[in-house]
Amino acid sequence: MRTRFGGAFAVLVFVALGRAQQPTIPGAPALPGGPVPAVTGAAATSVAPAAAAPAAPKNIWSFFMKTPEQKAQCKAHFCNSRIGSFINNLLVPAGVATGGLLGPICPPPGVGGPGSGAPNPDDLKKSPTSPEGAAAKIKQEEAQAKAKVAALEYLGTVDCRYYPEAEAGLITGLRAEKNECVRIAAAKALASGCCCSPKIVKALLISVNCSNKDGFPAEASELVRTYAFVALERCLRKCVEEEPEAPPEPPPAAKKAMYELLTPMGATVDYSAHILLAAYYPMESRETAAQVYADARQALARGLKLSPQTMSRLSGPKNLRDGVFPPDTQRAPTSVASISSLAWPSMPSFASIRKSASAPREVPAEPPLFAPMPAAPAEPPVMPTRQDTFAAPVTMPPASTTPVRSGRGNLSSIFQDAWKR
């Protein structure tokens, strides 16, 4: 038996090696007359089309060991099937309980999952107002979320004082990004405390206050606002750079002399005009860094109100039950205080039953449907008169002399009579 299996395996290996080492036919040599001129006119239509790209070689090794393209195709078919979705959903709680060691085998819906893979190139050419065009554009933007999150995590590790471009990238990720996960990553990166410039503090303040002063939509995600609040608090704990003081105004006499010196000859002197010198610049009505920091401290003093769902998401799972079943879907634990606080129905006691039986409850009398008739005048009562009548005596039957015994006495007498007999 072993000899047969060994011979069969040797034959298979020999056939596979023979197919893999087949010699290729060399190409035709070039013509001595140079390149062939292009065919024009009607003869061009008779030219055969160009050969397609060669397919992957099929041999015994490709049959037993699938290529990466074949594996990806098999996985896509499995994830799109119902049994694949069923098995994938069964492994979701196992992945949460084991920390990702045993997790779902199919990608999530936003990362090339069933029904939401890469956008169709034909749909990208359609109008953005059409359903297909809008969906393709959104898919294309969402597909870049993972790379943006990784870039923001790296920008959070550098100092914005030496890399000004990192400041602009973090602000853009916090305020201009449409994906909530990207904005959360930007807020987390800013919470590291490496970038705490006035522009960063201003962007964090706008996110915490749900404002749209910068032209972007107000932040509606409580998670983004929470991480922005933490980043704002950590930034204000650091040493804030002092704003340079404005140079003092020149004396009136020196200012008048400068106006007269800079004014052309023969022109009227305008003493209200601004002099754009290096030491004296016009004071514009703009927001200073000190005002930004003061507004940030006021926002921190007000605090931040969060919903119970956001608090549970921030705290994370505390045990295996929280990992399998989210806290927002669990019932509140029943305590002794909650049971005692319930309004139980009062049960009637025996004393109340006897009292109610002896003294029935008075039912209020209903008003009569018709008015009562007036009573007739009372007549004098008739007094009875005594008449002498003689009745015959009535004879009563003789009373029985047999004593009447109770049931207990009769039973004892029966036992006594039976014992005597």
How does DSSP classify residue 283?
Answer: -
CA angle, 370 then 372 then 378, to 5°: 165
Examine residue 332 and state whether it is found in any structural domain, yes or no: no
Examine residue 416 and state whether it is found in any structural domain, yes or no: no
Q: Cα(88)–Cα(92) distance, rounded to whole angstroms?
A: 7
Examine residue 169 and state whether it is found in any structural domain, yes or no: yes
Examine residue 40 and state whether it is found in any structural domain, yes or no: no
Tokens of 198: 């006035």
Please name which of 198, 196, 228 lies closest in space to residue 211, comparing C-alpha atoms.
228
How does DSSP classify residue 272?
Answer: T
Domain that holds residue 173: 145-240+287-312
- pLDDT digit of tens for each residue in the chain (421 aa)? 555 555 556 555 444 444 444 444 444 444 444 444 444 444 444 444 444 445 556 667 767 777 888 888 888 888 888 898 888 888 888 887 887 778 888 876 544 444 455 667 778 888 888 888 888 888 888 888 989 999 999 999 998 888 889 999 999 999 999 999 999 999 999 988 778 888 898 999 999 998 888 888 999 888 999 999 999 988 888 755 555 555 666 677 776 766 666 555 555 545 555 444 433 334 345 667 777 778 777 787 777 777 777 777 776 656 656 655 555 555 555 554 554 454 545 555 545 545 555 555 565 666 655 555 666 666 666 665 655 555 555 566 565 555 555 545 577 777 788 787 7
Examine residue 150 and state whether it is found in any structural domain, yes or no: yes
Q: Cα(4)–Cα(16) distance, rounded to whole angstroms?
A: 19
Please give the full DSSP string across 346-366, using - where no structure is assigned: PPPPHHHHHHHHHSPPPPPPP
Examine residue 369 and state whether it is found in any structural domain, yes or no: no
Q: Cα(121)–Cα(133) distance, rounded to whole angstroms?
A: 10
Examine residue 349 and state whether it is found in any structural domain, yes or no: no
Whole-Å CA distances, 305 to 223, 326, 369 = 11, 21, 65
Residues contacting 235, CB < 8 A, separation 6+: 190, 193, 196, 200, 201, 204, 296
Residue 195 CB coordination number (10 Å): 24
Q: What is the pTM of this model?
A: 0.44
- If one counts the domains in the chain, the total is 1
Amino acid letter, 120: N
Please name which of 107, 58, 48, 46 lies closest in space to residue 80, comparing C-alpha atoms.
107
Examine residue 6 and state whether it is found in any structural domain, yes or no: no
Q: Cα(292)–Cα(113) distance, rounded to whole angstroms?
A: 44
Whole-Å CA distances, 75 to 35, 90, 166, 269 = 48, 17, 39, 83
